[in-house]
Chain A
Amino acid sequence: MLTNTKNIEQVFKSVGTSPIRPDGVPKVTGMAQYGADYSLPGMLWAKILRSPHAHARIRSINTSKAEALPGVKAVLTSADLPNQTFDYIGPERVAVNYWHMTRNVMAREKALYEGHAIAAVAATTAAIAAEAIALIEVDYEVLPHVIDVDEAMHPDAPVLFEDMITRGVEPAPTKPSNITKRLEFKVGDLDAGFAAADEIVEMSFKTAAVHQGYIEPHSCLARYGADGQCELWSASQGHFVVRAYTAKLLGMEIGNLVVHPAEIGGGFGGKTVVYVEPIAVALSRKTGHPVKIMMSREDVFKATGPTSGGSMTVKIGVKKDGTLVAADGVFKLQAGAFPGSPVMNAAMCAFAPYIIPNVRTVGFDVVSNRPKSAAYRAPGSPISAFGVESVLDILAQKIGMDPLRLRLKNAVKAGSPTPYGPKHSHDGYAETIQALLDHPEYNKPLGKNQGRGVASGFWFNGGGESTASIHINEDGSVVLATGSMDVGGSRASMALMAAETLGVPYASVRSTVADTASIGYNHVTGGSRVTYATGLAVVEACNKIIEQLRLRASIMWDVDVKGVVWEDGFAKPADKSVGEFEPLSLKAIAAKRAVTGGPIVTEAAVNAGGQAPGFSTQFCDVEVDPETGAVKILRFVAAQDVGRAIHPKYCEGQIHGGVVQGIGWALNEEYIYDKQGRLSNAGFLDYRIPVASDLPMIEAILVEVPNPNHPYGVKGVGEANIVPPMAAIANAIQRATGKRLTELPMSPPKVLAAIDAV
């Protein structure tokens, strides 16, 4: 079963264990400092004035009364921020446009969603700042608004940007619309493919926008000095990216801004962008005082990026024997007020787990009057998977095939084609399916009103830039620093890989996250990239340190460095001919460092490629109350190929967490807007994420098909697990009730209506 692997039978001492994380004690004692936990003397509090309208032209802003309030030190509007050029920068899938970004951080010509930041105030107390923003007078010309993606695509919809001409369409449209982009991937011959099918299913689906739901609101503290040097403490998923975005939006040089990584209270992709940081820095610049901002929960829902809601049509053709012959998907994702929904991901991932010779996916990126979407755990993939995995279930039933076996029959492996170009480089998907087929509960019979559903999911996973540094303390202990924010225990995984590579105990490795002035560039903690890419940097740094340690030992022994080997944490003579020397520990070598060359330090940087994608296959059992439509999750089993579990408990934790987010997405989470385009459920009371009593224990199966491109076989774990749950639950509900739900969330009124419909 294991192919394309090296080191099939490695025995590890540290990798694969689940020790206590280095930041654990501070976190269980309340000592760890998150974004809102920092203070500085003379600190001011900032509050943000937000638009009450979903769509309005901003005619004027009068801040004089606010400025006059005693205790107010500065008022900020977009006039205080430099202009940005309109340009899409970077790879298409993750392109950034600072013209949009600055307007999202603080509105200019228009308020484009309820909650859009219009102005900000810094004052000596939070209460005074709150009072001051109520004194800012804004003259709005209220405009008609549009919320839903299908409505926003309608030719008569209110248009957000009067000059938005759809990209990706030849010839370009002459009339502006809310469709910012159209994209398409195509292989093979769709017509021929469908002609050869024995069964075809074509169906439309809708999903609602859902928020990442991190418990910590966005927070930061900025201190801008009279010398133009600024320090920023920010809870983000990437302090280097925060530095880059904030500096750009402020017109600062990157080198003048140091960002300190506060601990982060959840991100899931939503904290890879900036909201409060540029405002805090700008206010600190204006006032000469440190400025602290913490978003309220209401503002988090109204003004930070959920993932898109989507509208899609999926058509798949299959032969009687289960061979998939053709697939077509049209995916319309709503980006919120500015372009950049994850529709390209949705289009690329939709059919990626399957070998299908004839495939087309079309995507539309559509703007509407709601907060700008931001990444949410495998962004885009869960949305298209909802449709694709539901249609596959219907087809499986039509041809009388077990839904797992249908997937297994068409499962990609290393060398299989993708619909978007490059071939798959890794196995792993089939193994996740097999893990469920082998599961003792998979064939367990169910009772009345109960049903079992399966689904799979794919996510690219990321590589990219990471830096790691190591230095050996005088006592031989190891300090390991990276620039990767620790969201879910990565300090521990880095320390485990370092301990393993160096051959030293885990407890002797101090694993830290360094600020932007203390280490080289690190890309975000997202895209399931850190254990892979930062891990590569860590291992490379360890290998470089080992070279140094061998050299120091050779000097201490006065032998040629070729005669020194590093084994199990000790420098040893390569063989008897080198001499009779006792093994030298890190402590022994460090003790002599001054006479062997000075401090023992190194740094390693990577721009990692060769990462393997994430595959997850899941089944769930539900029970539906036929009188109320309530859906109870009885059992949820999720298998995922993790390559190699560096810290198995944290790998399991990622799977548990992603599945439960998927359960919320499936059953209850959505944005409810009133007729004025204002959000009715901007809080955890009515934006319903799962609570402990809603759930059984989630069972995570760690499948290990090691990635040969990583010394420990790592594949990113964080994201693929959120891709299948919504379809798995929809399929289970269908098996339990005979009714197919095609709209998320599958809340009780919808389920009951489906049950009661004739």
Chain B
Amino acid sequence: MSKHHVTTVINGDPVEFLCATNQSLLDVLRNDLNMTGTKEGCGTGDCGACSVTLDGRLVCSCLVLGVEAQGKTIQTIEGMANGEHLHVLQQKFLEHAALQCGICTPGFLVAARSLLERNPDPTEEEVRFWLAGNLCRCTGYNKIIEAVLDAAREMRGA
């Protein structure tokens, strides 16, 4: 079985890997690159736990082939903090208790960052609709939405 040799950039670092044609990017990240921060909740794009950005575009990594990462830039949860400095969203999630079990949290953080890059001043409704692709079973979404809105406020300097 011959594999594809893929060269890509993940969280700003050059990365190379081998993958089979039908191997998902999620599988490559978790099982070949040991980047287990991105989670598998369903494998079919219905839960958002595997969210990453691909060339700046928010996607489910379970629906992207590993080979499609060739020449692209990927951002995962592992690249969100800057060393000891958490991203504002990460900090707000902690302060607002926006996670209980935390399994959906990486996906939500990646998705929320993508939202705020596009729309720095979203309404509550806009936040809820943007994040509709991320399932959470623990929190009822309340504190996640509050954390995102609060992070947006802080990032705007408001």
Contact = CB atoms under 8 A, between A and B. Distances in A.
B136 to A, nearest CB: 7
A520 interface: no
A596 interface: no
A697 B34 contact: no
A634 B20 CA distance: 48
A267 B103 CA distance: 11
A649 B143 contact: yes
Given A215-B47, A657-B139, A698-B142, A24 B103 contact: no
A215 B132 contact: no
Nearest to A662: B140
Contacts of A192: none
Contact of B40 (A127, A267, A294, A649): A294
Interface string A2-36: 00000000000000001011011101111111101
Given A653-B138, A653-B139, A684-B46, A39 B102 contact: no
A689 B102 contact: no
Most central of A21, A29, A267 by chain B CB within 10 Å: A29
Interface in B49-77: 49, 76-77
A215 B100 contact: no
A649 B46 CA distance: 28
Contacts of A33: 36
Nearest to A38: B36
Interface string A632-666: 00000000000000010110111011111100000
B40 A693 contact: no
Of the listed residues A39, A215, A695, the one surrounded by the most CB atoms of chain B closer than 10 A to its CB is A215
B109 A28 contact: yes
A215 B38 contact: no
B36 A653 contact: no
A748 interface: no
A28 B105 contact: yes
B93 A297 contact: no
Given A28-B86, A28-B109, A653-B138, A296 B103 contact: no
A697 B49 CA distance: 22
A560 to B, nearest CB: 46
B87 to A, nearest CB: 9
A488 B101 contact: yes
A488 B139 CA distance: 9
Contact of A685 (B46, B78, B143): B46
A489 interface: yes
A215 B49 contact: yes
30 contacts: A25-B94, A28-B94, A28-B109, A29-B81, A30-B38, A30-B76, A34-B103, A37-B30, A126-B31, A213-B137, A214-B137, A215-B39, A215-B47, A216-B101, A217-B41, A265-B101, A266-B103, A296-B43, A649-B97, A653-B97, A656-B143, A660-B141, A683-B46, A689-B135, A690-B140, A692-B128, A692-B145, A693-B125, A697-B142, A697-B145
A659 B140 CA distance: 7
B52 to A, nearest CB: 11
B104 interface: yes
A268 interface: yes
A33 B39 CA distance: 10
A163 B142 CA distance: 50
A33 B102 CA distance: 11
A297 B43 CA distance: 7
A18 B97 contact: yes
Interface in A242-291: 263-268
Overall SS of chain B's interface: loop
A692 B100 contact: no
Interface string A469-513: 000000000000000000111000000000000000000000000
Contacts of A695: 128, 140-141
Given A216-B41, A649-B96, A692-B128, 19 more contacts: A18-B97, A20-B95, A21-B97, A28-B106, A30-B36, A30-B76, A30-B80, A34-B36, A215-B101, A265-B41, A294-B40, A297-B44, A650-B100, A653-B143, A656-B141, A661-B140, A683-B42, A683-B46, A692-B132
A210 to B, nearest CB: 12
A111 B145 CA distance: 44
B122 interface: no
Contacts of B105: 27-28
A79 interface: no
A265 B137 CA distance: 9
B8 interface: no
B44 A264 contact: no
Q: How large is the interface on A (under 10, 10 to 19, 20 to 34, 35 or more residues)?
A: 35 or more
Contacts of A23: 102
Contacts of A689: 135, 137
A270 to B, nearest CB: 11
Contacts of B76: 30
Contacts of A1: none
Contact of A692 (B41, B99, B106, B141): B141
A29 to B, nearest CB: 5
A331 B145 CA distance: 39
B78 A488 contact: no
Contact of A266 (B30, B35, B124, B137): B137
A693 B37 CA distance: 25
B131 interface: yes
A172 interface: no
A265 B103 contact: yes
Contacts of B20: 127
Interface string A199-220: 0000000000000111111000
A47 to B, nearest CB: 14
A554 B13 CA distance: 58
Contacts of A690: 140-141
A647 B132 CA distance: 28
B69 to A, nearest CB: 18
B4 to A, nearest CB: 15
B155 to A, nearest CB: 16
Given A213-B137, A656-B139, A659-B140, A27 B36 contact: no
Nearest to B144: A692
A48 to B, nearest CB: 16
Contacts of B77: 29-30
A653 B100 contact: yes
A693 B129 contact: yes
A226 interface: no
Nearest to B138: A657
A89 interface: no
A36 B128 contact: no
Q: Determine which residue in A30, A650, A693 has the highest number of CB atoms from chain B within 10 A of its CB, and name it.
A: A30
